[in-house]
Chains A and B, each alone.
Chain A
Amino acid sequence: MIEREQVLHVAKLARLGLSEEEVARMAGELSGILEHVDRIGELELDEVAPTSHVVELENVLRADEPHESLDRDVALSQAPDPIDGAFRVPSPQAEG
């Protein structure tokens, strides 16, 4: 069961603003989904190695050769708030 506080904590970690209504709904929905997911917790898998890759590759490396970088105007062309050749963001607050 996911409590409201957990929803708020996770939303904070994910930098996701949730309305009160969303917080309430998430708590219920996440609980329902996790209830289903929790079944895998009952499987005896201590000896099993986790799989994070299905491809059996290693040492896929790139030669240290420069490519053409983006023209700065192109790099900034998609930015919401470009200025002086840089990407502007609101300052993080001390109390953030």
Chain B
Amino acid sequence: MAELEAVIGLEIHVQLATRTKMFCGCELSFGDEPNVHTCPVCLAHPGVLPVTNEQAILYALKIAAALECEVAPHSIFHRKNYFYPDSPKAYQISQYDIPIAGNGRLGDVRINRAHLEEDAAKMIHVGDSGRIHGSGASLVDFNRGGTPLVEIVTEPDLRGAAEAAAWARLLRETVRQLGVSDVNMEEGSLRVDANVSVRPAGSDELGTKTELKNMNSFRFLERGMEAELARQRELIEGGGTVVQETLHFHPEDGTLHPLRSKEEAHDYRYFPEPDLVPIAPTEEMIREARESLPELPAARAARYEGMGLAEDVAALLAADPETAGYFEQVAEVAGDAEPRVVANWVTGELAAALRQDGGEATAAESNVEPGALAALIAMVQAKKISHGSGKTVLAALVAEGGDPEALVDREGLAQISDSGELESIVAAAVEANPEAAEQIRSGNQKAIGAIVGAVMKETKGRADGGEVNRLIRERLGL
């Protein structure tokens, strides 16, 4: 039997960071007292009508642009009818057959659709783990009810749990950089559900999928998908079949359990919302959305790789626009130093130096002026100081800022350029280590370390390692 490949599609709910709700003027909030942000509209009192929040449309258009989606010339809202206390109207205003955006892609994952809808209220199940079942009563808090959401649905293009989690991170980063959402999984402003199935590698049919919910961190998302893929593979290899169902992830033990559906009869009776008129984004709205896009992580990473950065370093910087900006400023004034080298200093030595004794500052916030780092890198490249001394200077820059040249002089770290001086130090070191010298002559190259160490000790690291090696061999007549 062919080995089973994973087929994963994601459904992502993004809470938009508008000031007010989707269809009323109540302010959005998180963690406030229950039911302090409600009005007749979001409590679904008799006679009220929804009015669409323009900002939510503009934010959705930004997401559509970032995901390279086609925007529907006329998209409409539908009513999704179901009874549950978190849905005050007993229908959710959502988009159904004509979503505002579709046919996009992010990285190499195709986006099926992105549509607008309103969030449900929060239910606290009294004396209960928070899952749907349990006894006693539930309390409803309508503060969250009506928060604007964009639901993004991918094609089943992901082939593994790690790949899917990594892509979800890229999406989170992309949406965050658009400035349209807090994308905080713990707080629920980003919610990722996964449709998971397996199939014989190479087959183009889709296996029966299960839907995974409640994975409120990327770690849980990946663990949840891994666990479910393992379960499905075992099941099928054991001759069993997968049943389509919704599985609820339990953070406590990382297990998945079938979720009792809210409605035992799933028939949402969608029909066009008669209280709202079509959304027809104007050319201007669409252009504004496109033009407002920052350079997004995928594009930025590609550009950095073009500049010669390693893939992982490029991705690291692209995910952190602030540090990326800092990197570009340094590279700007770094003269001959290659961007690759600058990037390694920024993400390597500098990042480490900043973390020293629990530092919190980012590169951009730090005392290390881009020009100063550029100068420091230049000195190391020009062998004015050794790499080791470079780190010492960097530590000083992080601590007090200032000009690296001045620090080099003050600390007396300038590399010994007078070769006469270095030669005599080497000579002395060779004298002092006769047996090491003997071993080297008899071909044991490793033994040179002892003499180099002695020289470096004597010069306090101000000598260039390569030069020292050369002089020792010369001294031994090799």
Contacts and interface: CB of A to CB of B under 8 A. Distances in A.
Interface stretch (B112-120, B263-271, B455-463): B263-271
B227 interface: no
Given A72-B33, A75-B38, A76-B35, A62 B137 contact: no
B279 interface: yes
Nearest to B59: A64
Given A62-B51, A66-B19, A69-B26, A94 B133 contact: yes
Interface string B38-61: 111001000000011111110000
Contact of A91 (B20, B134, B272): B134
Contacts, number: 131
A61 B35 contact: no
Contacts of B141: 86
A46 interface: no
Interface stretch (B124-132, B203-211, B309-317, B419-427): B124-132
Contact of B137 (A55, A59, A61, A89): A89
Place the interface of chain A in its size category. Answer: 35 or more
Given A61-B57, A64-B19, A64-B53, A52 B35 contact: no
A92 B262 contact: yes
A94 to B, nearest CB: 3
B38 to A, nearest CB: 5
B85 interface: yes
A92 B139 contact: no
A91 B137 contact: yes
Interface residues of B, number: 58
B132 A94 contact: yes
Interface string A64-76: 1111011010011
Given A59-B279, A61-B52, A84-B139, A89 B85 contact: yes
A36 interface: no
Contact of B25 (A12, A15, A58, A62): A62
A62 B23 CA distance: 8
B278 A87 contact: no
Given A70-B40, A87-B139, A64 B51 contact: no
Contact of B138 (A9, A60, A85, A91): A91
Given A53-B274, A69-B38, A64 B55 contact: yes
A72 B55 CA distance: 27
B85 to A, nearest CB: 5
B52 A69 contact: no
A5 B25 CA distance: 44
Contacts of A93: 133
Contacts of B125: 91
Nearest to A55: B277
A8 B135 CA distance: 27
Given A66-B27, A70-B40, A86-B34, A59 B280 contact: yes
Contacts of B281: 59
B27 A69 contact: yes
Interface in B271-330: 271-272, 274, 276-282
A66 B25 contact: yes
Given A64-B18, A86-B124, A13 B267 contact: yes
Interface of B: 18-20, 24-27, 33-40, 43, 51-57, 74, 83-85, 124-126, 128, 132-142, 260, 262, 264-265, 267, 269, 271-272, 274, 276-282
Given A61-B53, A89-B85, 9 more contacts: A13-B269, A60-B52, A64-B54, A67-B26, A69-B26, A87-B139, A91-B133, A91-B137, A96-B264
18 contacts: A55-B277, A59-B278, A59-B281, A61-B51, A62-B52, A64-B53, A64-B54, A67-B25, A69-B38, A89-B137, A89-B140, A91-B128, A91-B137, A91-B138, A92-B133, A92-B138, A94-B133, A96-B264
Interface of A: 9, 12-13, 15, 52-53, 55, 57-67, 69-70, 72, 75-76, 83-94, 96
